Amino acid sequence: MRPSDDMVLVYVPTGELTMGSSDEDIRYAYEQCAGAWENCNDRRYYNEQPKHTVKLDGFWIDRTEISNEQYGRCMDAEACSEALCMAGLQFDDPPQPVVCVTWQQAAEYCQWAGGRLPTEAEWEYAARGLENRRYPWGNNFVGAWLNYCDSTCRRPRTDVSWNDGQYYTAPVGSYPDGASWCGALDMAGNVSEWVTDWFGSYDPAARSNPQGPSSGFTKVIRGGSWFLTRAEVRGTWRTGYPPSTWFDDIGFRCVMTQSPEV
């Protein structure tokens, strides 16, 4: 447990990940999206290619997304500025994920807490593991194990085949059956998550602990959200937004290289 915000962390051991998607994976993504949204095309997912191997040292990752209550502690310490849509959201019972934070706000929080934002490779490794799963729990979609744009979503992307009872965000950690191989929760759906990397094309060469491009205009988000389809909650899905962007379906979690003190 991290003392600054009482976040429980889980350990992700040293290992190797086949990062990205094959042509077959891209076809699968298109089929999943097209089932709920007529504006889909497979070009939306080409930035997940090429598949490439990365090696990662072990690290600790937050078990859940950062909550409003935890972010409020950082504000109380005057280390974080107010998230831009916190006022109308629940703070502590049950804990909702903080949303409407820019990349800079997310990075500042993680620094205050004693960690940092994950790299894109670390995030994908924690979500998919050595088995390179499509979803944190496996290769088949299970609507009961995440919060995505189902029949309660009331958006153009609505999947009417499932109802998880959540119109908006779900309390952090609400879907234990959807845990990833290392025990991290909500790696699919609920809120998309900022990572540290600039958005850019993948380097296909095998690398150790990749950091992404050295510069850019947009920062990567991962994991999909309550607003997105089955395709965007896959472990390989990626997109980028300017770091000053904030939406009501974007949050974050932190990582630590060293074990927390408690």
Which DSSP string corresponds to the chain?
A: -BTTTTB-EEEE-SEEEEES--HHHHHHHHHHHHTT-TT--GGGGGGG-S-EEEEE--EEEESSPPBHHHHHHHHHTTSSPPPTT-TTS--SSSPPBP-S--HHHHHHHHHHHT-BPPPHHHHHHHHHTTTT-SBTTBSS--GGGS--SBTTS-STT-BTT---S-SSPPPTT--GGG--TTS---SSSSSEEEEEEEP-----S-EES----S--S-EEEES--TTS-TGGGSTT-EEEE-TT---TTEE---EESSPP--
Average pLDDT over residues 214-224: 96
Question: Tokens representing 163?
Answer: 């109802």
- Residue 114's pLDDT is what? 96
- Residue 43's pLDDT is what? 86
User: Are 118 and 61 contacting, i.e. CB atoms less than 8 angstroms apart?
Assistant: yes
Q: Of 37-46, 72-81, 206-215, 232-241, which range is least confident? A: 37-46
Measured distance between the N- and C-terminal CA atoms of the chain, rounded to whole angstroms: 5
Question: Tokens representing 149?
Answer: 């744009």
Residues 235, 249: Cα–Cα separation, whole Å:
17
User: Are 155 and 183 contacting, i.e. CB atoms less than 8 angstroms apart?
Assistant: no
Question: Tokens representing 147?
Answer: 């919060």
The pTM assigned to this predicted structure is 0.94
When pLDDT is cut at 50, 70 and 90, the band that residue 72 belongs to is: very high
- Residue 127's pLDDT is what? 98
Contacts 24+ apart (CB under 8 A), 137-143: 137/177, 137/178, 137/179, 137/180, 141/32, 141/230, 142/177, 142/178
- Residue 262's pLDDT is what? 53
Average pLDDT over residues 200-204: 91
Question: Tokens representing 15?
Answer: 């290992």
Average pLDDT over residues 28-40: 85
pLDDT at 88 over 50: no
**Domains of the chain and any CATH numbers:** 9-256 (3.90.1580.10)
Selection from 180, 252, 182 nearest residue 222 by Cα:
252
**For residue range 119-130, what is the model confidence (pLDDT) as tens digits?**
999 999 999 999
Selection from 132, 117, 157 nearest residue 18 by Cα:
132
- Residue 41's pLDDT is what? 83
pLDDT at 107 over 60: yes
pLDDT at 161 over 90: no
